[in-house]
């Protein structure tokens, strides 16, 4: 057993494992020898990924079909993992929503709140408390560079990502002395299905592999991980420019990108 398996094994649970960032977490954790619990709504995709990873690595994988916006989502997960120890929880599932909050679809906004925040809190309670009993484990919250500022025309998204940032970062300090590592992963634009699913434009973006490598390399060492030099530079600007200038620039960019909708 290697050091990573000893600290964060024997099982990792990844939400949003059917695509993009969650899928890549699954691949890199499989390489590190962790058994995996994969969750998302698209079970066929999870099962295909599980088959591929099991053929390559000597690991067990369980797939759970689960909609995290469903109020009762936890019962389906709980039933499938009662007999195993989750040593690493990756709170990653999410989706984008753009536009002004008042023109937007209230149900989609509430679903986003449930997936990005409510589900993460419930899962963190469930598995974090069991990690505390063992004095070891890890929690990763996928936030975003958009969690650093109150982005006009993306407020439901940015505010839930600020929630993920606060949880990942704050829990690092709360739980470190009790053996649990927490992290807020804050990617910038990344090449996944995210933008297409949200009907948004993507200009460039990082490949998903180095994003996840940065997260796993820094787990236990840094509370907040911003992958890539360009994203680090952006976060520095967001932190040190006057807030009103950051929000003004973002508002102009959002209006330009969504000319037809704003
Ligand atoms: N891509 C970027 O540029 C970027 C940048 C910063 C942060 N992020 C964050 O990274 C995370 C992952 O996004 P991604 O880029 O990998 O996007 P993606 O390729 O679209 O993947 C999103 C994942 O979330 C799952 N998901 C969405 N709604 C769900 C629901 N109601 N219940 C359960 N699972 C759900 C999807 O699975 P199913 O559809 O099968 O349910 C899918 O596995 C998100 O939290 C996002 O906010 C992305």
- For the stretch 128-147, pLDDT in tens is 999 999 999 999 999 999 99
pLDDT digits (tens, 9 = 90+) for 86-129: 999 999 999 999 888 999 999 999 999 999 999 999 999 999 99
Record the pTM: 0.97
Crossing angle of helices 73-81/119-134, nearest 10°?
Answer: 30
What are the structural domain ranges in the chain? 3-257
DSSP string, 3-68: HHHHHH-SEEEEESTTSHHHHHHHHHHHHTT-EEEEEES-HHHHHHHHHHHHHHSS--EEEEE--T
Q: What is the pLDDT of residues 161-185, one digit of tens each?
A: 999 999 999 999 999 999 999 999 9
Strands across the sheet containing 11-15: 61-65, 35-40, 11-15, 86-91, 137-142, 180-185, 224-225
Give the atom of ligand 1 at the shortest distance from the alpha carbon of 111: 31
CATH superfamily membership of 3-257:
NAD(P)-binding Rossmann-like Domain (3.40.50.720)
Query: How far, in whole angstroms, is CA 39 from its chain's centroid?
Result: 13
Q: In the structure, which protein residues have their CB atom closer than 6 angstroms to any atom of ligand 1?
A: 16-22, 40-42, 66-69, 92-95, 115, 142, 144, 187, 189-190, 192-194, 197, 205
Q: Which residue has the tokens 């890890």?
A: 138
Return the pLDDT at 120: 98
pLDDT tens for each residue of 200-232: 777 789 999 999 999 999 999 999 999 999 999
Q: How many CB atoms lie within 10 A of CB 60?
A: 14
pLDDT digits (tens, 9 = 90+) for 31-73: 999 999 999 999 999 999 999 999 999 999 999 999 999 999 9
The number of C-alpha atoms within 13 Å of 15 and in the hemisphere containing its C-beta is 27
Residue 261 — very low, low, confident or very high, per pLDDT cuts 50/70/90? Answer: low
Residue 96 Cα to ligand 1 midpoint, Å, equals 8
Helix or strand (DSSP H, E) at 88: strand 86-91
Nearest by Cα to 40 from 11, 12, 19, 9: 19
Identify the pLDDT of residue 71: 97
Mean pLDDT of the 184-193 span? 97
**Are the beta carbons of 66 and 77 closer than 8 angstroms?**
yes
Residue to mutate (ligand 1; options 13, 20, 46; most atoms within 8 A of CB): 20
Average pLDDT, stretch 12-16? 98
In angstroms, what is the span from residue 160 Cα to ligand 1's centroid? 13
Q: Are strands 11-15 and 180-185 parallel, antiparallel or unpaired?
A: unpaired
């Amino acid at each position: 057993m290697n050091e990573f398996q000893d600290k964060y094994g024997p099982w990792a649970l990844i939400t949003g494992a059917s695509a993009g960032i969650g899928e890549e977490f699954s691949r890199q954790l499989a390489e590190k020898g962790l058994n995996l619990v994969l969750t998302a709504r698209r079970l066929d995709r999870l099962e295909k990924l599980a088959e591929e990873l099991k053929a390559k690595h000597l690991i067990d994988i369980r797939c759970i079909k689960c909609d995290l916006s469903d109020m009762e989502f936890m019962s389906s997960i709980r039933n499938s993992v009662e007999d195993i120890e989750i040593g690493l929880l990756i709170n990653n599932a999410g989706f984008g929503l753009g536009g002004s909050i008042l023109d937007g679809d209230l149900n989609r906004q509430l679903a986003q709140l449930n997936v990005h925040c409510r589900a993460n809190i419930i899962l963190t309670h469930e598995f974090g408390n069991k990690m505390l009993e063992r004095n070891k484990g890890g929690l990763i919250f996928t936030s975003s560079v958009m969690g650093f500022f109150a982005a006009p025309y993306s407020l439901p998204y940015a505010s839930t990502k600020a929630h993920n940032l606060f949880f990942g970062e704050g829990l690092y300090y709360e739980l470190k002395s009790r053996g649990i590592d927490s992290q807020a992963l804050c990617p910038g634009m990344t090449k996944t299905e995210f933008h297409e699913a949200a009907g948004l434009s993507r200009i460039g973006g990082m490949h998903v592999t180095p994003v996840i490598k940065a997260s796993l390399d820094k787990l236990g060492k840094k509370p907040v991980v911003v992958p890539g030099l360009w994203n680090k530079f952006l976060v520095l600007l967001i932190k040190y420019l006057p807030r009103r200038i950051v929000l003004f620039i973002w508002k102009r960019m959002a209006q330009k990108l969504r000319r037809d909708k704003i």
